């Protein structure tokens, strides 16, 4: 992989005076970032709820040709058009290689992706000359007939084939701790097959891939931080080192607030 420098190298936002007023351009991180340099293997976006991680990730995905609700570039369904027009104000610098695969995972709308797969296969029953059912690329079993975590895992293990761009919004939302650990190994397997990941996460496990860049979203914009300096790592570590005392302090604060 010495000659591989990623499919997407930079993401630039249009100049401030070219941006419309209102949402999502009034979100601080959207307003204050100018350029995001992507790691050729894995780039993480982290930050508090409401900072704009999912909004930015969605705009990146749509700007790269993915369906706003998730899926591959071939999905064009729309349950409800709620995505912003931020993608129109992003410019991408691409590498010399072209991806052969890709997927945008949104935990909150993966149900809609699963429904679309079932519906498309229902409309076009399997015929040898027409190609196999779509669900075969996801393990052969309806994603609706699996648990939330199992359906995510079927996606990662069957549909992600390598040589692709994979954009994941909080993939840990359906995964157990052991599956989150296994996801790191799966990411590494795909990275070694010329894949590039952009991931928004709250999980210190998912965040732990070593050959990666981590960007913490703040009101000031995007700040690249080492793993052990992230809020995610420090807060989880502080809690797990002394859960009894931390829990006691939290409950005392809550009681004082309500008194």
| HSE (side-chain half, CA atoms, 13 Å) at 20 | 9
249 CB-near residues (< 8 Å, 6+ apart): none
Task: Specify the number of domains making up the chain.
Answer: 1
Confidence of residue 57 (pLDDT cuts 50, 70, 90): very high
71 pairs with which residues across the strands? 104
State the CB neighbour count (10 A cutoff) for residue 108: 12
Query: Would 156 be classed as within a structural domain?
Result: yes
Q: Is residue 250 situated within a structural domain? A: no
In a domain, 75, yes or no: yes
CA-CA distance, 172 to 117, in Å (whole number)? Answer: 22
What's the domain range around 16?
8-225
Q: What CATH number should be reported for the domain holding residue 61?
A: 3.40.50.300
| Confidence (pTM) | 0.91
Main-chain phi, psi angles of 59, to 5 degrees: -65, -40
- The predicted-structure confidence for 90-135, as pLDDT tens digits, reads as follows 999 999 999 999 999 987 778 889 998 998 888 876 555 457 889 9
Classify residue 24: in a domain, yes or no: yes
Residues 6+ apart with CB under 8 A from 105: 70, 152, 155, 166, 167, 168, 169, 171
C-alpha span between 75 and 79 (Å, rounded): 12
- Percent of the chain predicted with pLDDT > 70: 93
What whole-number distance in Å separates Cα of residue 180 and Cα of residue 167?
A: 16
Whole-angstrom Cα distance, residue 168 to residue 61? 10
Helix (H) or strand (E) holding 240, with range, is: helix 231-241
Please check the confidence at residue 155 and state whether its pLDDT lies above 60.
yes
Cα end-to-end span (Å), the chain = 60
Q: Identify whether 139 is part of a domain.
A: yes
Distance CA 122, CA 133 (A): 9
14 burial level (CB within 10 Å; 0-12, 13-18, 19+):
middle
Q: Is residue 173 part of a domain?
A: yes
- Does 2 fall in a domain? no
């Amino acid at each position: 992989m010495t000659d591989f420098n990623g499919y997407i190298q930079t993401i630039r936002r249009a100049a401030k005076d070219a941006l419309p007023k209102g949402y999502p351009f009034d979100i601080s991180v959207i307003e204050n970032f100018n350029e995001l340099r992507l790691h050729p293997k894995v780039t993480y976006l982290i930050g508090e709820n409401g900072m704009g991680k999912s909004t930015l990730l969605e705009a990146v995905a749509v700007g790269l040709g993915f369906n706003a609700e998730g899926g591959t570039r071939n999905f064009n369904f729309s349950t409800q058009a709620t995505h912003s027009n931020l993608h129109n104000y992003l410019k991408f610098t691409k590498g010399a290689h072209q991806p052969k695969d890709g997927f945008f995972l949104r935990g909150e709308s993966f149900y809609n992706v699963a429904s679309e797969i079932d519906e498309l296969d229902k409309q076009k029953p399997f015929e040898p000359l027409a190609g196999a059912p779509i669900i075969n690329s996801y393990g052969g079993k309806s994603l609706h007939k699996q648990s939330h975590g199992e359906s995510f895992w079927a996606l990662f293990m069957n549909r992600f084939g390598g040589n692709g761009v994979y954009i994941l919004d909080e993939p840990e939302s359906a995964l157990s701790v052991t599956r989150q650990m296994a996801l790191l190994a799966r990411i590494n397997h795909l990275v070694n097959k010329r894949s590039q990941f952009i991931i928004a996460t709250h999980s210190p496990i998912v965040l732990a891939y070593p050959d990666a860049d981590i960007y913490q979203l703040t009101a000031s914009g995007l700040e690249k931080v080492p793993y052990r300096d992230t809020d995610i790592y420090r807060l989880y570590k502080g809690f797990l080192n002394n859960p009894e005392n931390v829990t006691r302090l939290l409950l005392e604060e809550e009681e004082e607030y309500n008194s």
